[in-house]
């Protein structure tokens, strides 16, 4: 019996079969030197406590609500594994918007300009340590306009595990850029989240088909345990 995937029930089986017939979705594998990239796990993305999304967005319009809080524990488990093994943990996070940051994205989503200052704080359970690398960003991709690629090359990284949000936005944009830069990409299913279950599922399917290896967090942890520390 095939293992149920996050996109089952969202992407019709006929479309999944078409992708398989086209040869999409093969495993990309993992290299020998991974890094964990934690994207936008800030209170602006989850709210200050678990709430249904329509309640959470009253506090922060950018919040993903309960879906974000469900991902916090799997992200924390991955962070602990990476730190224990001496692998880099990198935080890409939304920098506060300034008056002159009113770009096209801000015009499309004006609510991003009005987040209270404490919304930019990291969620305490998964906050960085002084030894971790923090990379502020202004756009969806963790690579666009940042020194992230330079850090990864300097550290000899060949594989990136992506965690955080949103699956359809910053995770997707960062995965595509990372793939274009020839990094192997892994996405733990439970450690990424989105405000829309449909967008989350469909984008995981598309990322798994073209850019990344998407798998349960437990399976990924076992895979990583086989690497040299």
Q: Is 165 a catalytic residue?
A: no
Compute the half-sphere exposure of residue 215: CA atoms within 13 Å on the CB side of its CA.
18
Neighbours of 49 (CB within 10 A): 11
Residue 145 token pair: 């306009």
Is it true that the peptide bond before 197 is cis, omega within 30 degrees of 0?
no
List 64, 134, 165, 170, catalytic entry: 170
> Where do we find the tokens 């959470």?
56
Half-sphere exposure of 194 (CA within 13 A, CB side): 18
Q: Are 162 and 192 in contact (CB under 8 A)?
A: yes
3-state secondary structure of 2: coil
Q: How far is CA 215 from the centre of its chain?
A: 13
Beta bridge partners of 214: 187
CA distance linking residue 45 with residue 68, whole number of Å: 7
| Number of Cβ within a 10 Å radius of residue 202 | 18
Q: Which two tokens stand for residue 49?
A: 């406590």
Residue positions annotated with a catalytic role: 170
């Amino acid at each position: 019996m095939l293992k149920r995937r996050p996109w089952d029930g969202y992407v019709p089986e006929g479309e999944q079969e078409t992708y398989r017939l086209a040869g999409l979705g093969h495993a990309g594998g993992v290299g020998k030197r991974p890094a964990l990239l934690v994207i936008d796990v800030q209170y602006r993305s989850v709210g200050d406590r678990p709430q249904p999304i329509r309640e959470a967005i009253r506090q922060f319009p950018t919040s993903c609500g309960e879906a974000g809080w469900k991902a916090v524990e799997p992200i924390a488990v991955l962070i602990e594994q990476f730190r224990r093994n001496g692998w880099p943990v990198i935080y890409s996070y939304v920098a506060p918007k300034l008056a002159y940051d009113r770009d096209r994205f801000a015009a499309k989503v004006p609510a991003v300009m009005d987040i209270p200052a404490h919304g930019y704080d990291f969620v305490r359970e998964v906050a960085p340590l002084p030894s971790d690398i923090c990379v502020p960003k202004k756009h969806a991709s963790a690579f666009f306009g940042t020194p992230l690629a330079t850090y990864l090359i300097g550290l000899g990284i060949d594989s990136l595990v992506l965690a955080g949000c949103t699956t359809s936005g910053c995770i997707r944009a960062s995965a595509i850029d990372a793939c274009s830069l020839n990094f192997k990409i892994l996405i733990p299913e439970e450690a990424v989240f989105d405000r829309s279950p449909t967008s989350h599922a469909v984008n995981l399917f598309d990322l798994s088909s073209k850019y990344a290896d998407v798998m349960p967090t437990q399976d990924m942890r076992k895979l990583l345990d086989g690497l040299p520390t």
